[in-house]
Amino acid sequence: MKELRMILKKEFIHIIRDKITLALVLAMPIALVLLFGFTISTDIRNAKISVLDQAKDSQSKLLVDKITASGYFQVVAYPENEVEIDNDFKNKGIKLAIIIPPHFEDKLSKEHTANLQVINDVSDLNVASILNNYVRAVVQGYTEEYNQDSQAGFDITTKMLYNPESSSVYMFVPGIITLIMVLVTALMSSITLAREKETGTMRMLLITPVKKIHIIIGKVIPYMAISFIGTIAILIISVTVFKMPINGSLLMLLILCIIFMLTSASFGLLISSISQTQVDAMMITMMGLFLPTVLLSGFLFPLNSMPMVFQVLANVFPAKWFILAIKDVMIKGSGIFDIWMYLLILLVMAVVFIIFSLTRLDKRN
Amino acid sequence: MSAICIENVSKSYGGKVKAVRDVTFSVEEGEVFGLVGPDGAGKSTLFNILTTLLLPDSGNIKMLGMDVIDDYKAVRQIIGYLPGTFSLYPDLSVQENLDFFAVMYKSSIAENMSIIEPIWKQISPFKDRKAGKLSGGMKQKLALCCALIHCPKVLFLDEPTTGVDPVSRKEFWDILKSIRKHGITVVVSTPYMDEATRCDRIAMIQEGKIIGINTPATFIENFKGKLYTFKSEDIFSLLNAMESCPLDCNYYPYGEHCHIAFYDDIATALPQFEKFLSDNNLQHDEIRAIAPSVEDCFIEIVQRDFSH
């Protein structure tokens, strides 16, 4: 135990004396979460639109009011014909145009149906489809109210579970937490063993009688501790700035984070054990861990729509399981009985990575 | 009794480069054994094998009765190792480095102060300085302290004086002599032939092969040629001209001098050589007879025995 304490002390000295890295590791999570949180947001506010109201009756006015009151749209022009709409797209930078047909009110009351035409600027597919959904939601709300007034037809009530405001924060914050934890924990720990190899200190360590597992544990714990500080900072920002809820128990969330840090740090060591230099380790971490974490964790791109190969491949990376678990805990308020399988998978991964690193550590050929 | 017995050890990298070829020798207990050879001769590879960090392709090594290949964990307990490149933590202070390795070896500084004291006295004024900020000589002294902290039975020093100033080099060898008093067997490698004379015995290594093992004095006694030295202004023309020299001799630049070893009867060879130099209009000062150094011996063996 004395040896382990000494190794830990040494690792902490390395971390504390390397002021630039320390500052980076502590400031990076905060900077990243703010950066990602504010930039990767799919919520659109005040999109410019124009409305061609060919009816100009009370119902069409009511619909336009609904659209403007939603907060999603800002009507910048009321063109008189479709040619003007075209000009609005080109000159006024509108993203969407709505055409209300003539005799809107009459059609609704007599035929119980009316066709709204929506014209999209699809040069940005994401924006277009999001705005389209907003229009649908607004029109649906309007229809419901209209039907209630006229006591006619059917109505649909949709109940939004877990994310009543359809806020993208719910999607992104867990992903950002994952990315940052992987970046800090795995990158730092992957460099550390490689550095000892590069400078030759690993040879000095290996010929001492110290147990290999002590070397490994001595490497994992300090980087877990450092990234734990970062994780707490991210969680605080997520809750205070981005209004991310923590519906599950905070203890459960912290335990989950600690286990994921263990898995990430072990993955880092695994990379370290197959690299000879720090540059190798960094490249392998970026390409072999960070990139798959971004692409295959289900954080940016839904896994279900990927080819089977990638869906299977995604299982190998710890991030997928962590994102599933952290979403359950933070959003659904799940407890240990709901997410024990994810925790088990992460723990088994950590153990496998550590065992593999151990076998690679003292390779004598 | 032999401290280390090495039998038919070979090692190649990637099946092509043969770094160590069929090396066999033994090191006696308590001696300072030198491994002498130019860069790339295979010294560091051999050291890595002896210190259990690398497996040989073939061969056996016994160290104080233990098998270095199979029983490597036990061997690690009794060896100290000073690698060829500075391998301590540069961001830890001198004291912290020493404390760290003391604990790693389950030892304590106080326990083995008697062994490291002559070295520790020299570096303790700098004990709060970061190891990376020390001078080359100081770094090696600290590394030696760390290698001795557990009182090893066999100490391996891989080129300990490379990159160290001449004064520190001399100090370092004085320290090695003092280490012997504790009965520690020392195996040291060096590319500096002048240092080899300070070893009890030396093994000369060239292209992975051991080309001679003896005491430095015996090597010098066994020097076959008659060695002369002189200075010339134009070494390049001299080298070219020597291609056509009819004498059985071995010529090579040695620092700012030229060394020439004659293998014919010296009474006729020397006047013939002087005539050869004047025929070729080569300037030179007086040609004096000198005693061979270990380096002259190494060159003779490489040129006359090993290459044929």
pLDDT digit string, tens, across residues A308-322? 888 888 888 899 899
Which of A150, A177, A206 corresponds to the end of one domain?
Answer: A150
Q: What pLDDT score was predicted for residue A153?
A: 46
Same domain, A83 and A222: no
Between CA A305 and CA B61 the distance in angstroms is 60
Q: Are residues A139 and A176 in the same domain?
A: no
Distance CA B10, CA A365 (A): 13
Distance CA B87, CA B103 (A): 17
Task: Tell me whether strands A96-100 and A47-53 are parallel, antiparallel or unpaired.
Answer: parallel
- Res A151: pLDDT: 52
pLDDT (tens place) for every residue of chain B, 308 residues total: 788 999 999 998 877 778 899 999 999 998 999 999 888 888 889 999 999 988 999 999 999 989 998 998 889 889 999 988 889 999 999 999 999 999 999 888 888 888 888 888 888 899 899 999 988 888 989 999 999 998 899 999 998 888 888 888 888 888 888 888 888 999 999 888 888 888 999 999 988 889 889 999 999 888 888 898 988 877 788 888 888 888 888 888 888 888 888 888 888 888 888 888 888 888 888 888 899 988 888 888 888 765 54
Here the tokens at position B100 are 């760290």
User: In this complex, do B106 and A13 lie within 8 Å of one another by their Cβ atoms?
Assistant: no
Please indicate, yes or no, if residue A307 is contained in any of the structural domains.
yes
Residue A55, helix vs strand vs coil: coil
Q: Do both A342 and A239 map to the same domain?
A: yes
Residue A137 structural domain: 47-150
Judging contacts by C-beta atoms under 8 Å, the chain B residues touching residue A365 are: 54-55
- Mutant choice from B13, B88, B103 vs A, greatest count of A C-beta within 10 A: B103
Contact B88 A204 (CB under 8 A): yes
- Answer yes or no: do A116 and A179 share one domain: no
- Domain boundary (A118, A150, A182) is at A150
With CB atoms and an 8 Å threshold, state whether A6 touches B76.
no
So what's the pLDDT on residue B307? 55
Of A240, A181, A230, A242, the C-alpha closest to A41 is A242
Is there a single domain that holds both residue A51 and residue A36? no
Q: Is the four-CA dihedral B173, B174, B176, B180 of positive or negative sign? A: positive
Q: What CATH number does residue A117 fall under?
A: 3.40.1710.10
Instruction: Please report whether residue A81 resides in a domain.
Output: yes
Q: Tell me the per-residue pLDDT of A160-213, one tens digit each, with 9 for 90 and over.
A: 666 666 666 677 778 888 888 888 888 888 888 889 988 889 888 888 888 889
Please indicate if any CB of chain B lies within 8 Å of the CB of A2: yes
Rounded Cα–Cα distance for residues B285 and B86 (Å): 43
Residues A133 and A188 occupy one common structural domain: no
Complete edge-to-edge strand list for the sheet that includes strand B226-230: B249-254, B257-262, B226-230, B288-289
Does A29 lie in the same domain as A58? no
pLDDT of residue A28: 82
Instruction: Find which of A11, A197, A208, A219 to mutate to test the B interface (most B CBs within 10 Å of its CB).
Output: A208
Give the residue among A269, A293, A292 at the shortest CA–CA distance from A177.
A293
pLDDT at A128: 82
Listed by number, the residues of chain A in 3-22 with a beta carbon closer than 8 Å to a beta carbon of chain B are 3, 6, 10, 13-14, 17-18
> Is there a single domain that holds both residue A14 and residue A33?
yes
Instruction: Report the domain count for chain A.
Output: 2
Residue A301, domain member (yes or no): yes
A residues 186-245 closer than 8 Å to B (CB): 199-201, 203-210
Q: Same structural domain for residues A24 and A105?
A: no
Question: Among B53, B55, B105, whose Cβ lies nearest the Cβ of A209?
Answer: B105
Tell me, yes or no, whether A104 and A139 share the same domain: yes
Structure-token pair, residue A248: 């599950």
Looking at the structure, do residues A179 and A300 belong to the same domain, yes or no? yes
B201-206 sheet: strands from edge to edge = B79-82, B154-158, B185-190, B32-36, B201-206, B209-214
Q: Are residues A122 and A195 in the same domain?
A: no
CB atoms within 10 A of CB A124: 12
CA distance B103 to chain A (A): 6
Residue numbers in A near B106 (CB within 8 A): 2-3, 209
Q: Which of A99, A124, A150 is the last residue of a domain?
A: A150
A-to-B residue pairs, Cβ atoms closer than 8 angstroms:
67
Longest Cα–Cα distance of chain A, Å, equals: 92
Q: Is residue A159 part of a domain?
A: no
Instruction: Single out the residue of A102, A118, A88, A117 nearest to residue A60, CA to CA.
Output: A102
- Which among B72, B87, B96 is the nearest to A204, CB-wise? B87
Distance between CA atoms of residues A84 and A94, nearest Å: 12
H/E stretch holding A359: helix A336-361
Q: Tell me, what's the ipTM?
A: 0.80
Written as tens digits, the pLDDT of chain A (365 aa) is 888 999 999 999 998 898 888 888 888 888 888 887 777 666 677 888 899 888 888 888 888 888 888 888 888 888 888 888 888 888 888 888 888 888 888 888 887 777 888 888 888 887 888 888 888 888 888 887 777 766 554 445 556 666 666 666 677 778 888 888 888 888 888 888 889 988 889 888 888 888 889 998 998 898 888 888 888 888 898 888 888 888 889 999 999 999 999 999 999 999 988 888 899 999 999 888 888 888 888 777 777 888 888 888 888 889 989 998 998 898 888 888 888 999 999 999 999 999 999 888 877 66
Choose, out of A14, A193, A207, the residue to mutate when testing the contact with B (most B CBs < 10 Å): A207
Which A residues in the span 285-324 are in contact with B, Cβ-Cβ below 8 Å? Answer: none
| Angle (nearest 5°) at CA B233 between B227 and B237 | 85
Q: Is residue A294 part of a domain?
A: yes
User: Any CB–CB contact under 8 A between B52 and chain A?
Assistant: yes
Partners of residue B81 in chain A, C-beta under 8 Å? 203-204, 207
Best of B68, B77, B104, B148 to disrupt the A interface (most A CBs within 10 Å) is B104
Per CB-CB distance under 8 Å, the chain A contacts of B79 are: 207
Is residue A314 included in any domain, yes or no?
yes
Structure tokens at B126: 């700098």
Taking the Cβ of residue B100 and every Cβ of chain A, the question of whether any pair is shorter than 8 Å is answered with yes
In a domain, A155, yes or no: no
pLDDT attached to residue B155: 93
* Contact check, Cβ <8 Å, B77/A199: no
**Does A331 reside within a domain?**
yes
Residue position matching structure tokens 């391996």: B156
Query: B89: closest CA among B61, B131, B39?
Result: B131
User: How far is it, in rounded angstroms, from Cα B218 to Cα B251?
Assistant: 22
